[in-house]
Amino acid sequence: MKVLGIIPARYASTRFPGKPLIDIQGKSMIQRVYEQALKTDTLHKVVIATDDNRIAEAARDFDGEFVMTGSTHQSGTDRCAEVSKQLSEFDIVINIQGDEPFINPKQIDLLVSCFNQPNVQLATLIKEINTEEELFNNNIPKVVINSKQEAIYFSRHTIPYIRNADKEQWLIKHQFYKHIGIYGYTTEVLHEITKLQPSSLEIAESLEQLRWIENGYTIQTRVTNLETIAIDTPEDLNKIIS
């Protein structure tokens, strides 16, 4: 099983333009993500996928491998699919978020381990929710899983709803999970899902993984106890470096 790690990186972020190239204690964010991915035990190759020459030039400066892609992709998944067609010798693709400069390599290895069991199509990570702040934060996608640890549904709303209990008791009554946004795909399934049209559930929640579930694909999950730190805005960066 050959595994390819891809870090999609675009310059034109609405909330934080140029985000991959911001300096974090002497290194760009994209360099930090790339170097963390190289520390895994399971990835056979790591590449940056970008449509921007500034990001490509930054990768050259730190001897990072990159692949130039089209500029019309709507998601990191679409960008990964283009790269995997160019690097077709890999069986599994791991989509590593380009805005998590301190991602723990063990999280990537945990995700790859999903594909050691038969018939896994897609995989992602989840983490237990233990605070009301996270539980009722609509910016944090929640996940419901079945007995096989497959994702049944993702929502920005708090799910499931605990009937006949005050909200202060929900964490006692049920174990809730949040989604950690790193994905794994078999290359075959990756190419299939990028041909799908946006679905009604995806549009409603603005979560692309619902398109896959709505079209009958299964998403295997693994529970991680490691936290991730994503940088979506300049304020997030200030919290890290302050």
Per-residue pLDDT reduced to its tens digit, 88-99: 999 999 999 998
Question: Two tokens at 188?
Answer: 């075959």
Question: Two tokens at 132?
Answer: 């009301």
Quick one: pLDDT band at residue 126, thresholds 50, 70, 90? very high
Cross-strand pairs, 68:
50
The DSSP secondary-structure symbol of 19 reads: G
pLDDT value of residue 115: 97
pLDDT at 240 over 70: no
Cross-strand pairs, 222:
125
* Least confident span in 78-82, 199-203, 232-236: 232-236
What is the gyration radius of the CA atoms in the chain, in angstroms?
Answer: 18
**Separation of alpha carbons 236 and 182, rounded Å:** 19
pLDDT value of residue 14: 66
* Least confident span in 61-75, 191-205, 220-234: 220-234
Q: What would the pLDDT profile of 133-162 be if each residue is shown by its tens digit?
A: 999 999 999 999 999 999 999 999 999 999
104-128 exposure pattern, b = at least 16 Cβ within 10 A, e = fewer: bbebbbbbbebbeeeebbbbbbbbe
CA distance to 105, 132, 178, 181, per residue, from 125 (Å): 13, 20, 9, 7
Q: What would the pLDDT profile of 172-193 be if each residue is shown by its tens digit?
A: 999 999 999 999 999 999 999 9
Q: What is the mean pLDDT of residues 51-71?
A: 94
3-state helix/strand/coil string of 160-213: CCCCCCCHHHHHHHCCCEEEEEEEEEEHHHHHHHCCCCCCHHHHHHCCCHHHHH
**Separation of alpha carbons 152 and 59, rounded Å:** 38
pLDDT at 234 over 80: no
- Specify whether the CB–CB gap between 19 and 29 falls below 8 A: yes
pLDDT value of residue 239: 66
Q: What is the mean pLDDT of residues 24-48?
A: 95
Specify the CATH superfamily of domain 3-241: Spore Coat Polysaccharide Biosynthesis Protein SpsA; Chain A (3.90.550.10)
